[in-house]
Structure 1
């Protein structure tokens, strides 16, 4: 079962450093991993609408309405990282994001979003592997003091991210376009 510690320990192992079993170990690389993991995790989770980090909620409006342009404002959930969809599928609601609120003309706001999933045990194996590599790339220079290796790992990270996103996206059925003049004109 994957944990933040196992992900960071595997990242260090891949760089030839000693593994560890607890973030409380008093070693420089362990402290570095402990400090950087939340930021790297959130960045990777924001990079794609991962199935294991997607939630649906129905937001209620706040008491205070915006001063103008919209009739209501809605507080984003505390674990929000990225908005995926506002409104129902095929019936989106115009909105504006300002700080930690969404502004819209609605009595209730359906929201699909990426949440801060801090339970690696619930992640897909591709996401776990990607996070191990992302952590290795992030701490590479501190561990290896090689800018060449750091740059190479960052380039490889971009490739691994593309692959992980593609695999994660293949779990859904293919998206179908609604009939209309545009689609019909392409196939007539």
Structure 2
């Protein structure tokens, strides 16, 4: 089986709509469709990756503070990684901490910041098969009207996408442990190691 790429995902979406496939995003033979895919694909991909913490699109990083501290509120600001689409968990020394996301920075009262986040994974070959199917359906939905000029085709593609999204999120979530590590640490930091009321 060929490895998935942005072009193969768009081509499969076009096939689903009964349209000619593209060879690349600059395909001179099918320039209109290639341009349409090239314009729509990046924003659709980012939106889909941001919609759920897909296991194949999560990274961990330790950040150092920026030289300039916030004017007030928190003692330090940390620049979000360029590929960060969604902050999942922020901590220090293994415990979750209070923080605020503000204009591409995280503000917090710590000098070292541990970050788990959804990143812009542009290597589709590393994606879970459910995510590839979902992205193909998302492209079919967004291309449906421009390619077919049919509102009913667009509506049915959008309905199919919503159904697939539920299934993919459920399957992806089943790979996570029942109790997320972060939640456990948060409980410990709030209530101590014993489970009695403090």
- Residue aligning to 2:124: 120
- Residue aligning to 1:80: 84
State the Cα deviation string for residues 60-104 of structure 1 (Å, max 9, x = none). 000000011100000000101000001169831111111111110
Structure 1: which 4+ aligned runs deviate by more than 6 Å? 176-179
- Residue aligning to 1:13: 15
Q: What is the alpha-carbon distance in structure 2 between the residues aligned to residue 90 and residue 169 of structure 1?
A: 23
CA 1:23–1:78 in structure 2 vs 1: closer, same or farther (change >3 Å)? same
Alignment partner for residue 51 of structure 2, among 47, 50, 61?
Answer: 47
Give the secondary-structure state (helix, strand or coil) at the position aligned to 2:37.
helix
Alignment partner for residue 71 of structure 2, among 60, 67, 83?
Answer: 67
CA 1:162–1:28 in structure 2 vs 1: closer, same or farther (change >3 Å)? same
Q: What is the alpha-carbon distance in structure 1 between the residues aligned to residue 92 and residue 110 of structure 2?
A: 12
1:129 aligns with 2:145: no
CA contact (8 A) 2:92 2:112 kept: no
User: Where does the alignment leave 5 or more consecutive residues of structure 2 unmatched?
Assistant: 188-193
- Residue aligning to 1:180: 195
- In the superposition, the TM-score normalised over structure 1's length comes to 0.91
- Residue aligning to 1:185: none
Q: What is the alpha-carbon distance in structure 2 between the residues aligned to residue 116 and residue 22 of structure 1?
A: 20
Q: What is the alpha-carbon distance in structure 1 between the residues aligned to residue 173 and residue 54 of structure 2?
A: 8
Superposition deviation, residue 180 in structure 1: 3.5
Q: What is the alpha-carbon distance in structure 2 between the residues aligned to residue 123 and residue 34 of structure 1?
A: 19
Q: What is the alpha-carbon distance in structure 2 between the residues aligned to residue 89 and residue 12 of structure 1?
A: 48
1:126-165 mapped onto 2 (5 Å cutoff): 126-165=130-169
Alignment partner for residue 166 of structure 1, among 150, 170, 192?
Answer: 170
Give the secondary-structure state (helix, strand or coil) at the position aligned to 2:39.
helix
- In the superposition, the TM-score normalised over structure 2's length comes to 0.87
Superposition deviation, residue 148 in structure 1: 1.7
Q: Aligned Cα RMSD in Å? A: 1.8
